[in-house]
A and B are shown apart, each in its own frame.
Chain A
């Protein structure tokens, strides 16, 4: 292994992770510096709809697509969402496995699963990009950051697919690409839309709390017979 690859797998990643962590901490403190609104009124809605139920229901929204009309009626998009995010999680995990637990990748099945998942996520990234540029509604709401973040993640997922076997027999370029991209990704994330996962617990917590307190969550619906 070259010194450059060793540096990219270790020092560079550690520095990028440290930077991301620091910026995230600052970000969370900044968010918490805004006062939280308070509900003074007595709860409304049916008995059994409480703020805590609302919060759990709200947090679970992402795993319960049948509960939200937009997810229920666009199930293919939801499926894409799942594949894409699972792929990202696997690709991130890979950046820890290669330097700290490379033995795991000696198992061919682990490599295959990693490649299938990140490869599928990469394909979804391409589909998402096509949707973003071809759908006029998506174009209207997209910013350069939206396009760039999506392209960055899609290419990075592709590099993760190539890096998964952790082999330098054919050279190091694919591993170098993957680790340099991972470092860039970690540094860029706090300044981009990719940091949305940091806000998800907050927004859904507060929305769920209000909706639970007011008896709206869990949603009640009577289906057409």
Chain B
């Protein structure tokens, strides 16, 4: 009997071909180094919320990807695959099964990576595997839709330019009314500004108040700032889909716009994945050496207070609050002390959450999970860990510096009936602002008007 080679589907063939292009030394190290010690197992919120189900263990999930590497790249796996549990993919069904693990059972939160004594960074190669599947069109529906919007319309929520500009104009009018100052504006495409402010499209669509609050803070601080009419989306679905091409292209639009406006600094509104992508990852994906400074708006607000450019009165925020660290901010960008410092300046009753900072648990909406409705029941079940953590603080308000976490937390708070509110630092700072009316008007004369609809 002749031995027949098992045929592979076109997509499976392509995935294996592209594996080569995706590997770098760090990734190969992580693929080789796992000793199956199991120390990372209960670092994962999926494991903790689904006791007994071994398929959620980070090393188990990682091995679904690792087996490909072992079968096709590693010498023992090539010769004796069964000995090291090496394996391959042959059919589209194999790829779909892999999709449900890498998209549905992991939020790429990196908590297991931080808890691996060997330094295996599973979250990084899980993202790599997402990219491989996306390259052959195998991904959750939501990921496909959002990626398409970001490629074609330029932002991940498909917000049209007119709607964006109209929202800014509307927010500027609201601010004028609130501050009783007709000169208040949200400058668009102003050249040579000290700050170019970029936002998450969610702010335009669902939470425009955060734009108004940020504008109020910039205005009171007397900042020479602007918002770009295009390329304004600092979020980046490339981080979630593992598509470096998309990630690089999206960020490039924003970087190039800042260069075109001759902006001195790009300030990124409160968004964990947006901050991580724009500030940390995208220069690598897009092979772009960014010539200007980039900063989280959390740091900007804190700086304004320290420099005496804005004054705040913390007695305006007296309800007990706690702070949730976004995984992307805390575990991938080291942004965890500044938000706490700011929170303590603008609130009277701040309660720590345990564990915290880089050891915090994911909101369970990370890694693009909020866009993958097919996994919602699983996500909410796994959110039990976060729900318990929140409840334990006794706070009434959860503060977070991430729009994605706002949605994830709101969803789980509703599901577990915690009766808490979710807000961001920008809202608390704006609420605590002490506005000295006389001085404000004089400082604003040089600001340009909102050019709603033009751009």
Decide if A and B are genuine partners: yes
Contact A142 B36 (CB under 8 A): yes
Q: Is there contact, CB below 8 Å, between A49 and B294?
A: no
Q: A203-B119, A206-B119 are in contact. Are A42 and B83 (CB under 8 A)?
A: no
When distances are taken between beta carbons in the complex, the residues of chain B under 8 Å from A139 are: 54
Q: Is the CB of A145 within 8 A of B84?
A: yes
Other-chain residue from A61, A74, A144, A146 in contact with B119 (beta carbon distance below 8 A): A61
| Distance A42 CA – B85 CA, assembled complex (angstroms) | 40
- B residues 84-128 near A (Cβ < 8 Å) are 84-85, 113-121
A37 engages B35 (CB within 8 Å) = no
Stretch at the interface among A106-114, A173-181, A211-219: A211-219
Q: For the complex, give the distance between the alpha carbons of A81 and B75 in Å.
A: 27
Q: Are B43 and A70 in contact (CB under 8 A)?
A: yes
Q: CB distance A207 to B119 under 8 Å?
A: yes
Would you call B416 an interface residue if the criterion is a C-beta within 8 Å of the partner chain's C-beta atoms? no
Digit string of A64-77 for contact with B (CB within 8 Å is 1, else 0)?
Answer: 00001111001001
A29 CB–B CB distance under 8 Å:
no
Q: Which residues of chain A come closer than 8 Å to B337, judged between CB atoms?
A: 46, 220
Q: When A40-B283, A45-B335 are in contact, do A224 and B354 touch as well, CB less than 8 Å?
A: yes
Instruction: Determine whether the beta carbon of A214 is less than 8 Å from that of B332.
Output: yes
| Bound complex: CA A166 to CA B335 (Å) | 58
Q: Which of A88-96, A97-105, A117-125, A192-200 contacts B (4 or more CB under 8 A)?
A: A192-200
Whether A35 touches B279, Cβ cut-off 8 Å, given contacts A44-B335, A221-B355, is no
Contact residues in B for A81 (Cβ distance below 8 Å):
37, 117
Q: Which residues of B contact A210 (CB under 8 A)?
A: 26
Binds B, one of A3-11, A14-22, A130-138, A157-165: A130-138
CB distance from A10 to the nearest CB of B (A): 29
Chain A residues positioned under 8 Å from B145 (CB to CB): none
Q: Which of B28, B113, B280, B281 contacts A207 (CB 8 A)?
A: B113
Cβ of B327 to closest chain A Cβ, rounded Å? 11
**B216 sits at the interface (CB 8 A):** no
A31 to B27, CA, bound (A): 10
Residues of A within 8 A of B354 (CB): 223-224
Contact (A42, B294) CB under 8 Å given A35-B24, A61-B119, A221-B356: yes
User: Which residues of B, 276-305, contact A by the 8 Å Cβ criterion?
Assistant: 279-281, 283-284, 287-290, 293-294
**Do B358 and A220 touch across chains, with their CB atoms under 8 A apart?**
yes
Decide if B331 is an interface residue (CB 8 Å cutoff). yes
B29: which A residues are within 8 A, CB to CB?
A: 31, 199, 202-203, 206
The verdict on A140 contacting B57 (CB below 8 Å), with A35-B24, A203-B33 known, is: yes
Give the distance in Å from the alpha carbon of A97 to the alpha carbon of B449 in the complex.
83
CB <8 Å contact, B35 and A196: yes
A1 at the B interface (CB under 8 A):
no
- A contact residues around B36 at 8 Å (CB): 138, 141-143, 146, 193
Q: Are A216 and B117 in contact (CB under 8 A)?
A: no
Chain B: interface size category: 35 or more
Q: How far is the CA of A37 from the CA of B24 in the complex (A)?
A: 6
CB–CB A206/B26 < 8 A: yes
A204 at the interface (CB under 8 A from B): yes
B378 within 8 A of A: no
Q: Which of B36, B279, B359 has the most CB of A within 10 A?
A: B36
Choose one: B25, B290, B334; the contact of A37 (CB below 8 Å).
Answer: B25
Partner of A137, one of B38, B334, B355: B38
List of A residues within 8 angstroms of B356 by Cβ? 221-222
Which residue on B lies nearest to A191, using beta carbons?
Answer: B76
Cβ of A62: which chain B residues have Cβ within 8 Å of it?
117
With A and B bound together, what is the CA distance between A219 and B355 in angstroms?
12
A199 touches B118 (CB 8 A): yes
By a CB distance below 8 angstroms, the chain A residues around B28 are 31, 34
User: B159 an interface residue at 8 Å Cβ cutoff?
Assistant: no
Contact indicator A214/B334 (Cβ below 8 Å): yes
The answer to whether residues A143 and B52 also contact, given A42-B294, A70-B43 and a CB cut-off of 8 A, is: no
Partner of A220, one of B39, B41, B59, B336: B336
Contact partner of B115 (CB less than 8 A), chosen from A44, A68, A141, A222, is: A68
- The closest CB in chain A to the CB of B354 belongs to A224
The 26 sampled A-B contact pairs (Cβ below 8 Å) are: A31-B25, A34-B23, A34-B24, A35-B24, A36-B24, A41-B290, A42-B293, A46-B334, A61-B119, A68-B117, A69-B359, A77-B39, A81-B37, A144-B82, A144-B83, A144-B84, A144-B85, A146-B35, A196-B35, A206-B26, A214-B334, A216-B330, A220-B336, A220-B358, A221-B357, A221-B359
Which residues of B come within 8 Å of A, CB atoms? Answer: 23-30, 32-33, 35-43, 47, 52, 54-55, 57, 59-60, 63, 75-76, 82-85, 113-121, 279-281, 283-284, 287-290, 293-294, 330-337, 352, 354-359
Known: A77-B39, A143-B85, A221-B355. 18 other contacts (CB 8 A): A34-B23, A34-B28, A37-B24, A41-B294, A45-B334, A49-B334, A68-B115, A69-B114, A69-B355, A70-B43, A137-B54, A207-B113, A215-B333, A215-B335, A216-B114, A216-B331, A221-B359, A222-B357
By a beta-carbon cutoff of 8 Å, the part of chain A in contact with chain B is: 31-32, 34-42, 44-46, 49, 58, 61-62, 68-71, 74, 77, 81, 135-146, 191-193, 196, 199-200, 202-208, 210, 214-216, 219-224
